[in-house]
Amino acid sequence: MASPADCLPWLPGGFMVTVRALLFWALVYSYCAICACIELLKLLWSIGRSPGKTFQRIIRENPPACLSDPSLGTHCYVRIKDSGLRFHYVAAGERGKPLMLLLHGFPEFWYSWRHQLREFKSEYRVVALDLRGYGETDAPSHQENYKLDCLITDIKDILESLGYNKCMLIGHDWGGMIAWLVAICYPEMVTKLIVVNFPHPSVFTEYILRHPSQLIKSGYYFFFQMPWFPEFMFTVNDFKVLKNLFTSRTTGIGRKGCRLTAEDIEAYLYIFSQPGALTGPINHYRNIFSCLPLQHHEVTMPTLLLWGERDAFMEVEMAETTRIYVKNHFRLTILSEASHWLQQDQPDIVNKLIWTFLKEETIRKRE
């Protein structure tokens, strides 16, 4: 078993290492400045066109009814002894059944797994977590509290607090990054791994340095390195950026997808419009450049990678390359008409593919 500290990088001393580090951080902050200038121009354009609308914000005091829909499960809380943080999650299915733990991406929260909570509760204890800093989970104020080793340890501690020593782990987007790392660092805790629209972290870090197109698509990683300005840009025009992420032609759910309802969108707006609600999620990204690349890479459990080919943020070529890091059964399925928000976009297909993978693995074990 590798601890999070073992999985994450350690660089020896030396002149060349220092030079490379300086060049690396020069690249990071140069691109950060470029992204910030682009966003500033967008802000000035919005102010010029409609200054009143630019700074308009609706106060959302009451959550929409969909967040308390009993068919999705029960709202629960668990406090982790070591960190002292209280985590919020929604659980469906009987206690004692095998655990299916769901990790959301950005800018999402437990609700992004609503279709899976309903689907898999018949055979699993399905737990959709609000990650550290998101939704009703505690949000530490210091940026260093969102380093990857903290996020990995959170999942281990939550698993133990729920009374389990292993789970079937599913992650999407940033939650997929965490799921890969948990599988690498704590392989004995993950019986099966399913990741949605995020490649193996080593594939991502190698690919982004060689392909300028992916560097551009990942521009928000760099923009998020700035203090407070990214949070402010999300609030412009009553969280227009957040709405567009899920609904626009370029980044939103595909034409043939399961569109978000007005109430679904309002659920996201309610969660992220609360005071300070964006800082914790964005802090996840503010530590990433000091935590990658990895030292340990191999994934040893059966793995399913699902990918929406119309992903506006991740190039599909990374999906196939991920295969080389999985030292067990690996299945990749690419859905041609699906977006980045795959489990919300094509829930029926995604659920069917997950069921097929789980049943295949059960049969394979018996044989």
Which residues are the active-site residues? Answer: 173, 285, 340
Which among 157, 120, 124, 186 has a CA at the least distance from the CA of 352?
Answer: 120
Report the DSSP beta bridge partners of residue 78: 87
Asked whether the CA dihedral 201, 203, 206, 208 is positive or negative, the reply is negative
**What letter represents residue 156's amino acid?**
K
Contacts of 120 (CB under 8 A, 6+ apart): 92, 93, 100, 126, 351, 354
Q: What is the Cα–Cα distance from 126 to 113, expressed in whole angstroms?
A: 10
**Distance between CA 136 and CA 232 in Å, rounded?**
21
- Residue whose entry in the numeric block shows the structure tokens 């020593």: 165
Whether cis (ω within 30° of 0) applies to the bond prior to 107 is yes
**Residues 6 or more apart from 16 whose CB is under 8 A from it?**
none
Q: Alpha carbon 273 to chain centroid distance?
A: 19
Cα gap 257→204, rounded to integer Å: 26
Instruction: Name the one residue in this structure whose structure tokens are 């059964």.
Output: 329
Whole-number Å distance between alpha carbons of 366 and 343: 29
Token representation of residue 34: 């470029």
Q: Is 89 helix (H, G, I), strand (E, B) or coil?
A: strand
8 Å CB contact between 306 and 297: no
